[in-house]
Amino acid sequence: MLTINKYTSLLLLAAACLNTACNKEVKVNIQATGNFGDSTMALKDAAKFPIGVAINYTPLMNEGQFASIVKNAFNSVTFGYEMKHGAIVQSDGSLNFTNADAMMNAVNGMTVFGHTLCWHQNQNADYLKRYAGIIKPQAVELSTNGGFENGLTGWSIFNSGNPAGTSTITATNDKNDVHSGSGAMKVVNPVGYPGSQWRVQVSSTAFATTIGKKYNISYWVKAAAANGSIRLSSGPTNAQYQGDQTIGTSWQQVNWTITADLVSTTFLFDMGQAANTYYIDDVSVQEVIETGGADQIVLKLDTAMKKFITGMVSHYKDKVHAWDVVNEPFSSSPVAIRNNNNTANTANDVLVWSDYMGRGWALKAFKYAQAADPSAELYINDYELESNNAKLDSLIAFVKELKDQGAKVDGIGTQMHISRLTATPGIDNMMKKLAATGLKIRISELDVKAMAGSAAPQPTPELLAYQAVIYKYVVASYMKYIPAAQQAGITVWGVNDKNSWLYNGGKEYPLLYDNNYNKKPAYSAMLQGLTGK
């Protein structure tokens, strides 16, 4: 790997890269002698705006070199994960700030940029979906031995005809008499007692219930002959009665819902109405968990969003003065506000707010953040703005829409997860259009993939040179086209390669420091961009 005291000549490389817009690999005679330029100056000392870096809990708290570089080279940090919904919100909806607070203490004295308040990923989406009723929580099974796999264990014979013993109630393992599994209950009632269903009766074990809640009792049943009759009743007191169910010779499922009026409830099979042989299997008792309709989902999500945003901004009000409020609001292909159709939503951490709340989700997010801290700077953030002009234009139009509706949007973040092959005209185009908004502009998550599909097993001096050129070009374009009053800062998305989200076991090397915390050519190139050299 190229070390910092050796260099690659960038002059021919930069010219060739600009002439071809860096949209394909440029073949240039790269020399391996000369001087890359100063690498001793701290990046933070070369700029009048914040130079930030993304950090994560484990390397910050456990790797001394990582923490030292963060503090010496940069003056601003963004927590890569630890301030996101998934890191903070617990399974019961409470907020746990433990790791974020520890990181805040570890970088005491540095500016912290809050990331992020409303994103469709990296969330406790399981909690959100359960809370909002998007998914129905799994009800607990309350029945005992409902499949009769253990014979009649858990069941009590209350009545067996008149006189007692006229009917026989047993367990059966005959596969012809079983709905599923290996067991069922068989009830032979040779005498009908019309109007006295209780004459043949089997009771369940008592199960805990909550007064006022609904419980569904279901079972599968068939009879040996047509026109059988069965019903359920509840106990042990305050009996409720199901209507008589006509039972045929094929398996059928019967359901009965009761509203509990006891804290401990039983139910009974009443089979005295008609003479027949009955087979009962797969008994289930579960609380009925009711979820609301679309309006209820929107209300619950709105409540959850407000709780998280208000909780985060309020908790860090004295330490965090700028926030990514809305992150990645647009899909890339097609370019549109995200929904469940244009955004993969199968991962456990994904919930697409806008799919349920419509375009108004973003306005609400900004309103809640402003209310929690009126003095904080509030940003919207997205990616591929340098390569997707339609997305760039759509985001700018959306920001105007939000501001026209009264949202406090102070700035726009462009992530810039790019590569050595990224077309430079797109970078300039983006900078010009963002500058024209008059808002503050951040490069919020900068990294540059050095490999970008190269067949080389490790980054070569040539690949590192291309990477360095792009880093310098991004910085130079930002300083050229974004007026000084709108320059809100540049944040590199990580310290060293092995701690990058793109590292992938050594397949990509996108950052300014290598795995051993040595500065790469990209560091000096970025420094040159900041100093205008």
Q: What is the pLDDT of residues 161-186, one digit of tens each?
A: 999 999 999 999 999 999 999 999 99
Residues 288, 217: contact at Cβ < 8 Å?
Answer: no
Give pLDDT, residue 12: 39
Rounded distance between C-alpha atoms, residue 368 and residue 313, angstroms: 9
Q: Is the pLDDT of residue 11 over 90?
A: no
Residue 328's Cβ-count burial label (10 Å; 0-12, 13-18, 19+) is buried
Rounded distance between C-alpha atoms, residue 215 and residue 208, angstroms: 11
Q: What is the pLDDT of residues 52-79, one digit of tens each?
A: 999 999 999 999 999 999 999 999 999 9
Does domain 37-123+308-531 fall into CATH 3.20.20.80?
A: yes
Rounded distance between C-alpha atoms, residue 528 and residue 130, angstroms: 51
Instruction: Compute the average pLDDT of residues 466-476.
Output: 97
Which backbone phi and psi does 319 adopt, to 5 degrees? -120, -25
Q: Compute the C-alpha angle 169/233/253, nearest 5°.
A: 70
Give pLDDT, residue 344: 84
Give pLDDT, residue 438: 98
Give pLDDT, residue 177: 96
Give pLDDT, residue 37: 65
Comparing 37 with 78, which gets the higher pLDDT? 78
Q: What is the pLDDT of residues 275-315, one digit of tens each?
A: 999 999 999 999 988 777 889 999 999 999 999 999 999 99
- Tokens, residue 38: 């100063």
Instruction: Compute the average pLDDT of residues 250-273.
Output: 96
Give pLDDT, residue 3: 35
Residue 336, strand partner residues: 331
Q: Is the pLDDT of residue 234 over 90?
A: yes
Give pLDDT, residue 14: 43
* Cis amide linkage into residue 116, ω under 30° from 0: yes
Q: What is the pLDDT of residues 111-122, one digit of tens each?
A: 999 999 999 999
Rounded distance between C-alpha atoms, residue 278 and residue 242, angstroms: 17
Residue with tokens 């790019």: 418
Does domain 155-287 fall into CATH 2.60.120.260?
A: yes
Give pLDDT, residue 1: 34
Q: Is the pLDDT of residue 9 over 50?
A: no
- How would you classify the pairing of strands 245-247 and 207-208? unpaired
Q: Point out the catalytic residue in the list 82, 384, 445, 462.
A: 445
Residue 7 pLDDT grade (very low, low, confident, very high; cuts 50, 70, 90):
very low
Instruction: Compute the average pLDDT of residues 247-274.
Output: 97
pTM across the whole model: 0.75
- Helix (H) / strand (E) element for 187: namely strand 184-189
Counting every residue written for the chain, the total comes to 533
Would the CATH topology of 37-123+308-531 be identical to that of 155-287? no
Give pLDDT, residue 338: 96
- How would you classify the pairing of strands 320-327 and 377-382? parallel
Give pLDDT, residue 223: 97
Indicate the average pLDDT of the chain. Answer: 92
Reduced to 3 states (helix: H, G, I; strand: E, B; else coil), residue 53 is strand
Q: Compute the C-alpha angle 520/522/523, nearest 5°.
A: 75
Q: Is the pLDDT of residue 10 over 80?
A: no
Comparing 440 with 288, which gets the higher pLDDT? 440
Residue 103 pLDDT grade (very low, low, confident, very high; cuts 50, 70, 90):
very high
Reduced to 3 states (helix: H, G, I; strand: E, B; else coil), residue 432 is helix
Question: Is 445 in the active site?
Answer: yes
Give pLDDT, residue 466: 96
Lowest-pLDDT range, 192-201, 287-296, 391-400, 499-508?
Answer: 287-296
Residue 347 pLDDT grade (very low, low, confident, very high; cuts 50, 70, 90):
confident
Residue 16 pLDDT grade (very low, low, confident, very high; cuts 50, 70, 90):
very low
Q: What is the pLDDT of residues 357-400, one digit of tens each?
A: 999 999 999 999 999 999 999 999 999 999 999 999 999 999 99
Give pLDDT, residue 285: 97
Q: Is the pLDDT of residue 138 over 80?
A: no
Residues 465, 522: contact at Cβ < 8 Å?
Answer: no
Give pLDDT, residue 346: 76
Give pLDDT, residue 292: 73
Q: Is the pLDDT of residue 129 over 70?
A: yes
Give pLDDT, residue 481: 98
Residue 300, strand partner residues: none
Helices 389-404 and 424-435, packing angle to 10 deg: 10
Rounded distance between C-alpha atoms, residue 279 and residue 179, angstroms: 9
* Cis amide linkage into residue 461, ω under 30° from 0: no
Strand extents, DSSP E, 289-371: 320-327, 330-332, 335-337
Residues 480, 451: contact at Cβ < 8 Å?
Answer: no
| DSSP notation for 378-390 | EEEEES-TTT-HH
Q: Please enumerate in sequence order all residues whose Cβ is within 8 A of that of 494, keeping only pairs 6 or more positions apart, or say none.
A: 53, 54, 80, 447, 500, 501, 510, 511
Proportion of the chain above pLDDT 70, given as a percent: 93
Rounded distance between C-alpha atoms, residue 39 and residue 29, angstroms: 24
What ranges do the domains of the chain cover?
A: 37-123+308-531, 155-287
